[in-house]
């Protein structure tokens, strides 16, 4: 396994084509806007090095028997699925943001199921290819970006009906040694911190869409792959030199629009090629795993609740009954989220390939809660924090002799807490609820791993209404009907 | 010198600082102890430090261990007391 320092060096060696603010970023690792996100991924390596977290962070490879980082593991039991949820909470709490590595783990697990199933039907050899690739990922302890979401163009049209065929990533050429693909993947979390990119289709497909039914993996610095960094609210605070106004002084996340400009993929890296009838299965399984992965928001919730409790105390309002009650409500919501991610793991099942998959219904219920509860937790945090969170002056003003004395005097809360400590906690709440980390804690909670309606469709498809109807009829003395 | 295997639970949501508590136990030990991993051979005792009441790791360790397992679930006991127990437990003792 790699150490955190080795991970950083390995990313430094990549020759990625990254653009931000209209310019090429030659050194993403040391770019002040991107670096906190690299540090968050590095935490997934650092915790695996620590004895007090190894039981969660390290797994045993079912391929080689070697110790591997859990982020490269294929779930072999319910215990593995549960540990995945727990790992998400742990890392969310340690970083206070999105640590970006779950999406690759979810892609690997979904592929381990679907490549096997395609082979069963078509007598292909995708599973063996995939296993070789997986072994490479595990042995080298790599970060994979799981790239699913296409730009999608006109949502009322199927991929093959789009006026611009590139609105969904597709095969443009078939060669003896591989294929050429073109298109883009949007909202790619942690793409620039990844060694590999795993591309999957984004929706179920028909035969007419078969050129869009393609899955493959590539080194992230493959020729023709271009990364255009997404903006985050308050992102340029990271350029100010001072760190307090960032809120989270250590970690962050990032997203990018990833363009595939006629990119060559060798056959040994292709895991689905026009088997359109398996696109839907892959999407559903990946989505279920990834909806479970929102366990991380419970960890970020832990941080936000802790910060809210602290600011209540610093304001001298910690003992007010309504404040206590709001903190209870925040905890109630956060632990309800935890229940969901543990439940969908505990009720998982073994698939024909041997991989364990979460319970799809419960994973969707969990994610549906995630689209709502962090917003309410954030609202309560802002309620308790007070308006100062968005009106207080900058760190530069705190440090300037002309203004610092006034800020220290008038932004003092409780007498034994320096104004700066109060300001730092307020900045952290601001960061999570409307700054750079709100991308992960709020809007990503809404739309990541599928927008709310996607979960509602899955809930309606997977819930057993027939048995519910039967149960009701039985209790009123009516005959059971099939 | 006693040979003791140290094992932490994964620490997903610990109720106390397990590493700091372990350090306090170390500080309180009156004799030198050789600390090893549960994957090593030939130790006399396992010290399992858990972050909460959940038995996720406990069952696995206690079922498979051939030696006594001393389990810490919280930090309310004096570390000196734990240190004393670590030195007193003998093979065959049931914990």
Q: Is residue B59 part of a domain?
A: yes
Question: A283 pLDDT band (50/70/90 cuts)?
Answer: very high
Q: Is the pLDDT of residue B92 over 90?
A: no
Query: What CATH code is carried by the domain that includes residue B71?
Result: 3.40.50
Q: Which tokens is A38 given? A: 């690299």
Instruction: Say what percent of chain A tops pLDDT 90.
Output: 99
Q: Quick one: pLDDT at residue B55?
A: 83
List pLDDT tens digits, range A339-366: 999 999 999 999 999 999 999 999 999 9
Q: Is residue B95 part of a domain?
A: no
For CA atoms A190, A196, A198, A199, the dihedral sign is: positive
- Is the same domain home to A268 and A353? no
Q: Quick one: pLDDT at residue B95?
A: 54
The secondary element (H helix, E strand) that includes residue A403 is helix A401-410
- Is the same domain home to A265 and A313? no
Average pLDDT of the residues in A300-323: 98
State the smallest CA–CA distance between residue A116 and chain B in angstroms: 31
State the smallest CA–CA distance between residue A53 and chain B in angstroms: 4
Query: What CATH code is carried by the domain that includes residue A423?
Result: 1.20.140.10
Counts for chain B of helices (H) and strands (E), in that order: 3, 4
Q: Is residue A471 part of a domain?
A: no
The secondary element (H helix, E strand) that includes residue A171 is strand A170-174
Q: Is residue B17 part of a domain?
A: yes
CA–CA separation, B76 and A435 (whole Å): 39
State the smallest CA–CA distance between residue B77 and chain A in angstroms: 20
- Is the same domain home to A100 and A195? yes
Domain span at residue B59? 2-88
Residues B37, B66 contacting (CB under 8 angstroms)? no
Q: Quick one: pLDDT at residue A335?
A: 98
B interface with A, Cβ–Cβ < 8 A, is 6-13, 18-19, 49, 56-57
Q: Is residue A175 part of a domain?
A: yes
CA–CA separation, A347 and A359 (whole Å): 5
Using a CB-CB distance cutoff of 8 angstroms, which residues of chain B are in contact with residue A302? 13
Q: Quick one: pLDDT at residue A119?
A: 98
Cβ–Cβ gap B12/A51 under 8 Å: no
- Is the same domain home to A261 and A177? yes
Q: How many Å from the N-terminal Cα to the C-terminal Cα in chain A?
A: 54
List pLDDT tens digits, range A260-270: 999 999 999 99
Considering only the beta carbons, identify the residue of A53, A82, A302 that sits closest to B11: A53
Q: Is residue A474 part of a domain?
A: no
Tokens 């220290």 correspond to what residue? A408
Cβ–Cβ gap A89/B8 under 8 Å: no
Q: Is the pLDDT of residue A275 over 80?
A: yes
State the smallest CA–CA distance between residue A264 and chain B in angstroms: 41
Our count of domains for chain A comes to 2
Interface test with A, best of B4, B10, B16, B63 (most A CBs within 10 A): B10
Comparing alpha-carbon positions, the chain A residue that sits nearest to B37 is A51
Q: Touching check for A90 and chain B: CB below 8 Å? A: yes
Instruction: Say what percent of chain A tops pLDDT 70.
Output: 100
Question: A172 pLDDT band (50/70/90 cuts)?
Answer: very high
Q: Which tokens is A351 given? A: 């698939």
Comparing alpha-carbon positions, the chain B residue that sits nearest to A84 is B12
Q: Quick one: pLDDT at residue B62?
A: 87
Q: Is residue B93 part of a domain?
A: no
Interface test with B, best of A43, A49, A52, A86 (most B CBs within 10 A): A52
Average pLDDT of the residues in A145-166: 97
**With 0-12 CB in 10 A as exposed, 13-18 as middle and 19+ as buried, what is A271?**
buried
Our count of domains for chain B comes to 1
Q: Touching check for A82 and chain B: CB below 8 Å? A: yes
Average pLDDT of the residues in A396-400: 97
CA–CA separation, A76 and A112 (whole Å): 11
Average pLDDT of the residues in A191-214: 98
Q: Is the pLDDT of residue A107 over 80?
A: yes
CA–CA separation, A304 and A329 (whole Å): 13
Phi (first) and psi of residue A186, to 5 degrees: -100, 160
Q: Sort strands B2-8 and B45-49 into parallel, antiparallel or unpaired.
A: parallel
Cβ–Cβ gap B9/A90 under 8 Å: no
- Is the same domain home to A174 and A64? yes
Residue finishing a domain among A277, A305, A333: A277
CA–CA separation, A7 and A221 (whole Å): 16
Nearest to A102 by CA among A122, A125, A86, A120: A86
Question: CA angle A279-A446-A102, nearest 5°?
Answer: 60
Using a CB-CB distance cutoff of 8 angstroms, which residues of chain A are in contact with residue B8? 51-55
Q: What share of chain A is helix, strand, coil (3-state, %, to 5)?
A: 55, 15, 30
Question: CA angle A58-A51-A251, nearest 5°?
Answer: 75
Comparing alpha-carbon positions, the chain B residue that sits nearest to A59 is B10
Using a CB-CB distance cutoff of 8 angstroms, which residues of chain A are in contact with residue B49? 52
ipTM of the complex: 0.89
Query: DSSP 3-state assignment of A31?
Result: coil
Q: Is residue B32 part of a domain?
A: yes
Q: Is residue B76 part of a domain?
A: yes
Query: DSSP 3-state assignment of B11?
Result: coil
Q: Touching check for A291 and chain B: CB below 8 Å? A: no
Residue A231: how many other CB atoms lie within 10 Å: 14
Domain span at residue A459? 292-466
Catalytic residues of A: 98, 102, 189, 255, 290, 294, 296, 444
Q: Quick one: pLDDT at residue B94?
A: 54
Q: Is residue A476 part of a domain?
A: no
Q: Quick one: pLDDT at residue A59?
A: 98
- Is the same domain home to A259 and A315? no
In the DSSP assignment, the letter for residue A72 is G
Phi (first) and psi of residue B20, to 5 degrees: -65, -40
List pLDDT tens digits, range B18-73: 999 999 999 999 999 999 999 998 899 999 999 999 988 888 888 888 899 999 99
Q: Is the pLDDT of residue A382 over 60?
A: yes
Counts for chain A of helices (H) and strands (E), in that order: 19, 14
Query: What CATH code is carried by the domain that includes residue A50?
Result: 2.40.110.10
Q: Which residues contact A441 (CB under 8 A, 6 or more apart)?
A: A97, A297, A300, A304, A374, A378, A432, A433
**With 0-12 CB in 10 A as exposed, 13-18 as middle and 19+ as buried, what is A387?**
exposed
Using a CB-CB distance cutoff of 8 angstroms, which residues of chain A are in contact with residue B18? 52
CA–CA separation, A19 and A16 (whole Å): 9
Query: DSSP 3-state assignment of A110?
Result: helix
């Amino acid at each position: 396994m790699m150490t955190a320092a080795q991970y950083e060096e390995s990313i430094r060696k990549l020759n990625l084509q990254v653009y931000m603010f209209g310019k090429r970023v030659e050194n993403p690792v040391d770019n002040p806007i991107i670096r906190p996100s690299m540090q968050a991924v590095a935490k997934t390596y650092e915790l695996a090095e620590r004895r007090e977290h190894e039981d969660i962070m390290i797994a045993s490879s079912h391929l080689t028997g070697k110790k591997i980082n859990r982020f490269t593991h294929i779930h072999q039991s319910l215990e593995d699925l549960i540990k995945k949820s727990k790992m998400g909470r742990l890392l969310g709490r340690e970083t206070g943001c999105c640590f970006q590595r779950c999406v690759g783990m979810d892609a690997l697990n979904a592929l381990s199921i679907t490549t096997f199933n395609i082979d069963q039907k078509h007598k292909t050899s995708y599973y063996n290819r995939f296993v070789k690739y997986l072994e490479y990922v595990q042995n080298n302890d790599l970060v994979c970006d799981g790239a699913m979401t296409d730009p999608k163009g006109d949502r009322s049209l199927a991929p093959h009906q789009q006026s611009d065929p590139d609105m969904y990533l597709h095969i443009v050429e078939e060669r003896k040694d591989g294929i050429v693909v073109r298109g883009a993947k949007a909202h790619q979390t942690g793409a620039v911190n990844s060694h590999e990119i795993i591309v999957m289709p984004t929706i179920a497909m028909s035969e007419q869409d078969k050129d869009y039914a393609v899955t493959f993996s590539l080194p992230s610095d493959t020729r023709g792959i271009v990364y255009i960094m997404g903006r985050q609210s308050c992102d340029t605070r990271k350029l100010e030199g001072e760190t307090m106004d960032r809120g989270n002084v250590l970690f962050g996340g990032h997203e990018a629009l990833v363009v595939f400009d006629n990119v060559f993929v060798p056959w040994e890296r292709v895991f689905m090629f026009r088997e359109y009838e398996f696109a839907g299965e892959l999407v559903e399984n990946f989505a279920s795993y990834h909806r479970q992965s929102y366990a991380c928001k419970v960890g970020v919730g832990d941080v936000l609740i802790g910060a809210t409790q602290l600011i209540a105390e610093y304001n001298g309002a910690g003992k007010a009954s309504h404040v206590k009650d709001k903190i209870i409500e925040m905890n109630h919501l956060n632990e309800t989220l935890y229940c969901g991610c543990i439940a969908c793991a505990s009720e998982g099942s073994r698939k024909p390939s041997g991989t364990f998959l979460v319970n799809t219904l419960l994973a969707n219920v969990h994610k549906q809660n995630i689209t709502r509860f962090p917003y309410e937790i954030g609202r309560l945090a802002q309620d308790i924090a007070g308006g100062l969170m968005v009106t207080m002056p900058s760190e530069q003003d705190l440090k300037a002799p002309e203004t610092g004395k006034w800020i220290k005097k008038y932004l003092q809360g409780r007498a034994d807490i320096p104004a700066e400590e109060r300001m730092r906690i307020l900045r952290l709440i601001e960061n999570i609820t409307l700054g750079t980390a709100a991308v992960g804690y709020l809007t990503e909670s809404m739309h990541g791993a599928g927008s709310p309606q996607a979960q509602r469709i899955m809930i309606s498809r997977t819930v057993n209404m027939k048995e519910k109807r039967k149960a009701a009829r039985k209790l009123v003395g009516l005959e059971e009907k099939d | 010198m006693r040979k003791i295997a140290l094992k932490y639970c994964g620490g997903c949501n610990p109720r106390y600082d397990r590493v700091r508590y372990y350090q306090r136990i170390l500080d309180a030990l009156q004799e030198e102890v050789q600390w090893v991993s549960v994957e090593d051979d030939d130790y006399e005792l396992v010290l399992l430090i858990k972050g909460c009441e959940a038995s996720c790791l406990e069952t696995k360790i206690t079922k498979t261990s051939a030696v006594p397992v001393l389990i810490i679930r919280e930090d309310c006991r004096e570390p000196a007391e734990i240190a004393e127990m670590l030195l007193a437990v003998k093979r065959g003792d049931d914990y």
